[in-house]
Amino acid sequence: MAQTLTPISLAGGDTFTTLISRANNLIDALGLNIVTANTAAAGGLTTGNAYVAGFLGGTTVVANAIQGGSALNIPGNLNIISNVVYGIACTITNGNVTINSTMLTVGANLSLSTSTIKVGNSSVNALINSSLIALNGTNPSYSLSNGTVTITVNSQQISIGANVHLDSGNLFIGNSVANTVINSTSEVIANSTQTTVIAPGQITIGNSLANLVITPSSFSLVSNLNFGNSSANLIANSTILKIANTLGTVNVTPTQIRVGGSVTLDTGGLTVGSVTVNSSAIAGINSLNVSTIGLGNSSQNLYASYSTLIVSNTLYVATMLPGGVTFGNTSANAAINSVSVVLANATISSTINPAGASFGAGTANLLANATTISLANSTSSANILPTSFRVGNSTVYLTINSSAIAFTNSSGTTVLTGATSFTAGDTYA
């Protein structure tokens, strides 16, 4: 607290001796307790401790130490309630922390400037600036964590957590069971059972027991390739290709193609149901070989060879030969060849050939050729020639030519010539 000086009071009985005593007390206070000022560079010097309950101001405050608290022997926080501006040449030191106008240093191994953060010493250190994060040393390492994930950087690799690692040759993502490794020549994706490798010229999928290899020029499969579901699917491996749905199944092997249960194609031939086709014959449809074809059964069939084609059923037979065709049965039939056509049944036959034609049976028939048309039955006949016409029988007949008409019967012959005139109603017998 402040030094108390009692004023001199003549009314109170103070004497000259009191004045001298009080003057000495004032001189002692000026030397020991009162803080003085003068124009000297060092200022007025007062030795001791002082406490001001209020504001203490000045243009410049010079001190070897500033302590917070209510007393010298009771340190406390030093509160600075306004901005503090340090001079350019000033340095702030707190233990091993030093701050000046260009740098903050903590001991010998941490420094912060306006452009660089450096942690470490001359042998092992980390340096960060606006364009670079550098780790130097035998095995330098840097870690950055947000409490959940830690990023670690050292001279060999960058790690994110436990499952991502990047070094000069590879990017590794995953763990020992399931992982992906990427480098300049391949990408490998693997788990405990399968591996996929993607390289510039090849893709490999699978494992040592079953795998698929794809290149620009080939497609190689070991074990099975499966597409589809239980109702419709495709299965392929080195020995078989199987395509199936609810309606049917197709199996393809190196030696055979099988469709359903009735169609098979192999080196021995093609089998459809009971029909087999091979290099020399077709079996199951009677017969088919290099020289003949037989189709049908005992009721209806077809037979073909180099020289004959026969089609037949229980009613008819048709036969084709190089020289002609016949068709029909024993009751009614036709025959055609290069020189004639013959149509016949049990009672009548007709024949057409280059020389003429005949129609009918033995007692009633028609004959025609280049010179004659003859129509006859069992009692009479009619014949047309280029020069005459005759109708009748051997006893009674009529003959007409270009010059006369002749009527002949058992009584004789009557001849009518060009001089004969006819009247309506005339009768000749």
Q: Is the pTM of this model over 0.75?
A: no
Contacts of 421 (CB under 8 A, 6+ apart): none
pLDDT tens, residue order, the chain (429 aa):
466 778 888 888 888 888 888 888 888 877 777 777 788 877 777 777 777 778 888 888 888 888 888 777 888 898 888 888 877 778 888 889 998 888 899 998 899 998 999 888 877 777 888 888 777 766 667 788 888 899 988 878 899 999 999 999 999 999 999 999 999 999 999 999 999 999 999 999 888 777 788 888 887 766 677 788 889 998 887 788 899 999 999 999 999 999 988 888 888 888 877 777 776 666 655 566 667 777 778 788 888 888 888 889 998 899 988 989 998 888 889 889 989 988 888 888 888 888 888 888 878 888 889 899 988 888 999 999 999 999 989 888 889 998 888 888 888 877 776 655 655 555 555
